[in-house]
Amino acid sequence: MNKSESKYFNTAIRMDKAFLSLLEKKDFEYITIKEICDLAGVNRSTFYLHYETTRDLLMEALEYINSRFLGYFTTDAAATIEKIKSGNLEELIFITPRYLIPYLEFIRDHKRMFTAALARPEEFHVNTSFQKMFKHLFNPTLERFCIPEPEKSYILSFYINGIIGIVTEWLRKDCAESVEAITSLIIKYTLPTGNGCS
């Protein structure tokens, strides 16, 4: 990366951080480009060099936050992937406190951003990003449970939309219920499917 590219990248990071800081204090709809620029120490023309609207910045901020997502998990991603390939079927049920608690803590800690994104799921491609997140986990797991190919998309849709629905309601209530309470609800309403291969 040359000096010019590095400066461009660092400016974008400053705007991301300024935006995230503002989201901690106020709802997305009330954040102005001027506030972002003032906090990031850049002028409006610099903002427009990087983004067209605050929605573009929200998309980038979501990607930035998602890149930090794995830090919430204590499990080793490589070990989890290996477990999917060869572990016992009982170990392949990921709707458990071990996985849900860090996921929900992550959402709670970034609730304003997720609230903004979930308010306009089509605009911010929320379902797509959830599908990407679950693709490498759920698809290989469904194969281990011998779920027929035509049914996989339905099961994925059930889990993704069901969990998003519970999370959306939780965010609507400003995450008033504990992470543990929401974990219990998700487990209660998304029972594991299939009994494995005979």
Confidence of residue 2 (pLDDT cuts 50, 70, 90): low
Chain segment 143-196, per-residue pLDDT in tens: 888 888 888 888 888 887 888 899 999 999 999 999 999 999 998 887 654 455
Question: Residue 131's closest CA among 90, 163, 102, 107?
Answer: 163
Report pTM. Answer: 0.68
What tokens appear for 56 in the block? 């573009």
Q: What is the per-residue burial (b if ≥16 Cβ within 10 Å, else e) of 16-42?
A: bebbbebbeeeebeebeeebbbebbeb
Chain segment 8-48, per-residue pLDDT in tens: 778 888 998 899 889 888 888 899 999 999 999 999 999 99
